Amino acid sequence: MNPMRGTLIGRFLLLTIAALIVLLPLWYWAAPWLARPPVWIAGSAMQALFGWVKSFDIQEIHAILFTLVQTRMRGPAGDVLVQLASRVDYRVFGYGLPLLWAMLLASRPRLWWLKGAAGSLMLFVAQALGIASQWMMDVVVTSGPTGSAYLAYPRWVANAILYSRQFNLLMLTPMLPVLLWLLFNKPFVAALWLEAALDESPEGRARAPTIDAGNS
Q: What is the pLDDT of residues 26-44, one digit of tens each?
A: 999 999 999 999 999 999 9
Residues 6+ apart with CB under 8 A from 126: 93, 96, 168, 172, 173, 176
Average pLDDT of the chain is 87
Overall domain count for the chain: 1
For residue 214, is it within any domain? no
Q: What is the pLDDT of residues 80-112, one digit of tens each?
A: 778 899 999 999 999 999 999 999 999 888 899
- Residue 210: pLDDT band with limits 50, 70, 90: very low
Domain extent, residue 163, equals 3-203
Q: Which residues pair with 79 in a beta bridge?
A: 74
- More confident: 74 or 203: 74
pLDDT for 193 beyond 90: no
Listed as own residue / partner, the contacts of 175-183 with beta carbons closer than 8 Å and 24 or more positions apart are 176/96, 176/122, 176/123, 176/126, 177/96, 177/97, 177/99, 177/100, 177/103, 177/119, 177/123, 178/99, 178/103, 180/100, 180/119, 180/122, 180/123, 181/100, 181/103, 181/104, 181/107, 181/119
For residue 210, is it within any domain? no
Q: Which segment of 71-80, 142-151, 178-187 scores lowest on mean pLDDT?
A: 71-80
The CA–CA distances, whole Å, from 149 to 70, 87, 119, 158 equal 9, 22, 41, 13
Q: How far apart are CA 205 and CA 194, in angstroms?
A: 14
For residue 151, is it within any domain? yes
pLDDT for 212 beyond 90: no
- More confident: 68 or 5: 68
Whole-number pLDDT of residue 62: 97
* C-alpha of 12 from chain center: 21
**Where is 75: in which H helix or E strand?**
strand 62-75
For residue 82, is it within any domain? yes
CA angle (200, 205, 210) in 5-degree steps: 140
Whole-number pLDDT of residue 211: 35
Q: Which class for 157: exposed (0-12), middle (13-18), buried (19 or more C-beta within 10 A)?
A: middle
For residue 215, is it within any domain? no
For residue 65, is it within any domain? yes
- Helices assigned H by DSSP within 86-111: 91-94, 96-107
- Residue 186: pLDDT band with limits 50, 70, 90: confident
For residue 78, is it within any domain? yes
Q: How far apart are CA 61 and CA 34, in angstroms?
A: 9
* C-alpha of 199 from chain center: 34
For residue 186, is it within any domain? yes
